Amino acid sequence: MHTLTRQQLIMLVLITLVWGTNWPIMKFGVTGFPALTFRTLCMWIGLPVLGLFLWWRRVPFRIGREHWPALVWLTVFNMLFWHTLAILAIQTLSSGRAAILGYTMPVFSALVGAWWFGQRLAGRAWIGVAAAALAVLLLLWYELTNLSGKPVGVLMMLVAAATWALGTQMMRHTRIPQPTLTISFWLTAITTVWMTVLSVVFERHAWIWPSTGIWWAIVYNAVGIFAFAQVAWLSLARELPPIASTVSVMFIPVLGVFTGAWWLGEVLHWQDWAAVALVMVAIAAVLWPPRSTAARVAAPRGG
């Protein structure tokens, strides 16, 4: 288990707020506007902002040629599947349900880490995984009774979540020596090109000028997601044990559910409320300091 530093805790809180509120914003942004084009515009605005931040911090841009194959694989599993499938799926799902499906990722990540990377999870961590998984099932209850018109969207979100989980584990085990900011920049740059090609090939006929509201959604995604939350997440994925860096942000879909209900009028059910309690159990199981650590903190220091 891992005790978070104050800085890591602040980062997790900010990621939760930015990503959680982004789900209804994305849903609003792709309603009546081409989804792939929406994501492409977000990335073309966010990429220069991220680049300026690297320049300001004097972080090197260069990644050695020998590390590019590993960088490509990181891009595929952390970025390409996720950003392509998630933005398409949210067109057919409510923002809250899309967030819930997307954040089955922590469950996938814990299992991938245990089965593929040989990570041994403490019993308390498995309790957190089980609580998070049950929360997801509860929040999906209504969706599972209405799959007749939405199975493709559900499947796309689950595939996106599973590949992102693998990508998170790969990021933690990467041997690329460059700073996370450098890796994040190139992951975003490659994905921006990929999304541009997809939007030109599949949506050029549907291009329209964004309304003022959609421009605000684009800017929020560009700055909040691509210039901050994504970079912060990748940094935590390298610094924290996977179980801490994944289950700890399971509150994101809960925030997505309730902001979607408040802003977009999406209907809530009893499963939504029960899931809140389960998610809090999951977070506590993963992040609560071990008894030995708590005892050391409570013990008085000698003179």
Under DSSP, is residue 211 helix (H, G, I), strand (E, B) or coil? coil
**Ranges 8-17, 127-136, 168-177: which has the least confidence:** 127-136
Q: Is residue 96 part of a domain?
A: yes
Q: Is residue 241 part of a domain?
A: yes
DSSP characters for 4-15? PPHHHHHHHHHH
Whole-structure pTM value: 0.82
Under DSSP, is residue 92 helix (H, G, I), strand (E, B) or coil? coil
Average pLDDT score, the chain: 82
Q: Is residue 295 part of a domain?
A: no
Residue of 31, 147, 94, 24 whose CA lies nearest to 267: 94
Question: How many other C-beta atoms are found inside a 10 Å radius of the C-beta of residue 299?
Answer: 8
DSSP characters for 271-299? HHHHHHHHHHHHHHHHHSPPHHHHHHHHS
- Whether residue 165 contacts residue 101, with contact meaning beta carbons closer than 8 Å, is answered with no
Cα separation, 23 vs 105, in Å, equals 16
Give the model's pLDDT for residue 139.
66
Which one has a higher pLDDT value, 141 or 65?
65
The total number of structural domains in the chain stands at 1
Q: Is residue 302 part of a domain?
A: no
Q: Is residue 259 part of a domain?
A: yes
Q: Is residue 303 part of a domain?
A: no
Under DSSP, is residue 59 helix (H, G, I), strand (E, B) or coil? coil
pLDDT-derived band at 231 (thresholds 50, 70, 90) equals confident
Q: Is residue 114 part of a domain?
A: yes
Q: Is residue 300 part of a domain?
A: no
Query: What sign does the dihedral 135-139-141-143 (CA atoms) show?
Result: negative
Q: Which domain does 198 fall in, by range?
A: 6-290
Give the model's pLDDT for residue 302.
40
Cα separation, 235 vs 251, in Å, equals 19
Over residues 92-107, the pLDDT tens digits come to 888 887 887 887 777 7
Task: Looking at mean pLDDT, say which of 10-14, 46-50, 253-257, 295-299 comes out highest.
Answer: 46-50
